[in-house]
Structure 1
Amino acid sequence: MSSKFEEKAGVYLLFSRLFQKAPNVSLLKEIAQKKLLTLAYHFFESTLPKEILLLEEPGCAEAAEEIAIEYTSLFVAPGNYYIPLYESFYCDTLTIDTSTADSPYFQPQGMPSGTKGFLYGFSARAVEKSYREGGLELDPKFHDLPDHIACELEFVGRLYEEGKIDLAEVFLRNHLGRWVFDFLNNVQKQCLSVFYQRVASSLNNFLTDECCIKFDQSSAAR
């Protein structure tokens, strides 16, 4: 596997870690020292701009506690700022067929109605199948849903690590690419701190370039 694919795998695994749980001091220091968010933002550029806006704040490690509190507010605790991290929430529709409802008060509606915002729908089961087809299984210690953003990002990273480039492209097209940009836009709107705004901005730009390159090449090959 080329070093470029190894680096790309590292980007996916970094963002997987950042959305799996709040970053600790050690990770925040590494991000600041190595400029990991900035490098991910410009990953597909052959040369970095002469005047580059760094996405890392030098003192972000000292703000680890505040970042952890915001992580909980955004991704764990239900409330005004909560943002779901699951593909099913964004992509799946719960369909309720009321045509067989027996009510003396209302006429039954022949057309089914649907609504979004539910968890563990078709997408969750489909990504589980994709994981198995890619030769990976969820860690039994991971007590969350399979279509969690951290799982999907890690899966693509592991596929790149193992040189399964075609499977990574299929998963991006059929799963991660369908919803991740809506999720990241919500993060940028909802978060109050600079850190997760810049995490979302970096991943958004990285995946925009990744999807454009992959899908344009795929279309041209047909």
Structure 2
Amino acid sequence: MSDAADVRGESAQIAQGYAVLARCWRQPDEALVDAIESGALDAIVPGIETVDLQRMRTEHARLFVGPKDPPCPPYESVYRDADEEGFGDVLGSSTRAVVRWYREYGLGLDPDWPDLPDHVATELEFAGHLVATESPATLEQFLDEHPRQWFGRFLESVRVATDEPFYRELADATERAAFE
């Protein structure tokens, strides 16, 4: 195999890794449980062999949705546009900045995705897109300007707040992908 083919293959694998991480941050479903239990996600959540879908859904809602003041809001603007005392509002200036990135690379938001553009999953998907289509320098710039500005605080809050090993492992895997 040529060096160019090796690089393309590695880029495709990294892009797929970002896509898998993105999927894991969304509402759990049967397909995610099947992937975990089959071992397909061992690189992301090693050692987790069984999970309970209802328990995962409950924990996902408690951590990220609410009903009131979830401990780990999965939105960049909440962390970046915050005052010193706590969380900021959604749809702040950092949200508009990340949307400019998407538009600059010809992407819009999926109308079937009901969440905000600065959601952790959306930013990970975009990072995967950049790996597959742009230079490594472009990916690094995006990571520096967006995920690396807030993932640390977000991921640490997940580790502290969760009772589910899946979410602790997912936080660790996301940190490795964004910071290494």
Fold match (TM-score > 0.5) = yes
1:173-188 to 2 correspondence within 5 Å? 173-188=144-159
CA RMSD of aligned residues (A): 2.3
Change (3 A) 1:119 1:139: same
User: Residue 21 of structure 1 aligns with which residue?
Assistant: 27
1:36-185 to 2 correspondence within 5 Å? 36-37=41-42, 39-40=43-44, 55-60=46-51, 63-79=52-68, 81-93=70-82, 116-185=87-156
Q: 2:8 aligns with which of 2, 24, 45?
A: 2
Alignment-mate amino acid for residue 201 of structure 1: D
Percent same amino acid at aligned positions?
31
Q: Does the CA contact (< 8 Å) of 1:16 and 1:149 recur in 2?
A: yes
| Cα distance between partner residues in 2 of 1:65 and 1:182 | 27
Instruction: State the Cα distance separating 1:141 from its structure 2 match.
Output: 2.1
User: Residue 17 of structure 2 aligns with which residue?
Assistant: 11
Change (3 A) 1:128 1:196: same
Q: Does the CA contact (< 8 Å) of 1:81 and 1:191 recur in 2?
A: no
Alignment-mate amino acid for residue 76 of structure 1: V
Query: Which structure has the bigger radius of gyration?
Result: 1
**What secondary structure is seen at the aligned counterpart in 1 of 2:72?**
coil
Structure 1 gaps of 5+ residues are 41-53, 95-112, 210-222
Instruction: State the Cα distance separating 1:137 from its structure 2 match.
Output: 0.7
- TM-score between the two structures when normalised by the length of structure 2: 0.85
Q: Does the CA contact (< 8 Å) of 1:32 and 1:58 recur in 2?
A: yes
- TM-score between the two structures when normalised by the length of structure 1: 0.70
Alignment-mate amino acid for residue 136 of structure 2: I
Structure 2 gaps of 5+ residues are 1-6
Alignment-mate amino acid for residue 88 of structure 2: G
**What secondary structure is seen at the aligned counterpart in 1 of 2:121?**
helix
| Cα distance between partner residues in 2 of 1:32 and 1:87 | 31
Q: Does the CA contact (< 8 Å) of 2:71 and 2:157 recur in 1?
A: no
